[in-house]
Amino acid sequence: MDDYINNLMSKAVEEYPFIAKHNPIVMVGNAGEDYAETWPQNEPGAPNAPRPKEFPIDRVGVMIGKPNEFTHHDLAGELMHVDPIANKTRKDLIDSMTAKQLATLATVSGDFKQTMDEGRPAADAVQNGTDSAMRGYLLNQWPKEANDEMKYNKDQLKMLESLKSYMKQDSGNKSGGVAMPQHYSSGNWKLI
């Protein structure tokens, strides 16, 4: 699995340099029924999904449950959950959505439906659905038709395109190169 993680991280950081600033620990293991589970810094996890001991509390941890189906684009999507700029974009996008867009989100986003099926509040479903819509647009995780159904206005498209530029821009390395993983050992990345 070390080769899988090394290749995944190498591709991910190359295409999405914003990942390097989060310096995640990435491992393959039990992620429950999900493709992956992410633990932000300082989050102990839920009682039914505690933070794995391999993830120090001061680091972001990503546990990949289905490596055969999980790509470097998916890793970028996982790290959007812990990125303050992605989170602000999500909030701004939600605040700008029309009633028609929210209704469309409810029908096209599996994450929206899953959250409602779990009996969670509608606000959680909107947040999870919007995360899904952002990944759908930014990482091509939705078919073009689903993105088109959202009928984003020009301000919303500007938000999404700005986030895409941020994710792909290397702001941490002044020499012009991309911060690449130095090595992988027991799920611990050192970025140079």
pLDDT in tens, 42-70: 999 888 888 999 999 999 999 999 999 99
> Same structural domain for residues 162 and 89?
yes
* Among 28-32, 168-172, 183-187, the least confident range: 183-187
Residue 157 belongs to domain spanning: 84-168
Is the confidence at residue 104, as pLDDT, over 50? yes
Is the confidence at residue 187, as pLDDT, over 50? no
pLDDT attached to residue 178: 36
Is the confidence at residue 190, as pLDDT, over 80? no
46 vs 50: CA distance, rounded Å: 5
First to last CA, the chain: 22
pLDDT attached to residue 48: 81
Is the confidence at residue 138, as pLDDT, over 60? yes
- Write down the mean pLDDT value for the chain: 87
> Same structural domain for residues 50 and 96?
no
> Same structural domain for residues 95 and 60?
no
Is the confidence at residue 18, as pLDDT, over 50? yes
Total count of domains within the chain? 2
Residue 97 or residue 31, greater confidence: 97
pLDDT attached to residue 1: 63
User: Would you say residue 174 lies in a domain?
Assistant: no
> Same structural domain for residues 164 and 88?
yes
Is the confidence at residue 161, as pLDDT, over 50? yes
User: Would you say residue 146 lies in a domain?
Assistant: yes
Closest residue by Cα to residue 93 from 39, 164, 34, 30 = 164
> Same structural domain for residues 89 and 44?
no
Q: What is the mean pLDDT of residues 88-101?
A: 97
> Same structural domain for residues 62 and 107?
no
Give the chain's radius of gyration (CA, Å).
17
User: Would you say residue 178 lies in a domain?
Assistant: no
> Same structural domain for residues 111 and 146?
yes
| Encoded tokens for 84 | 């303050």
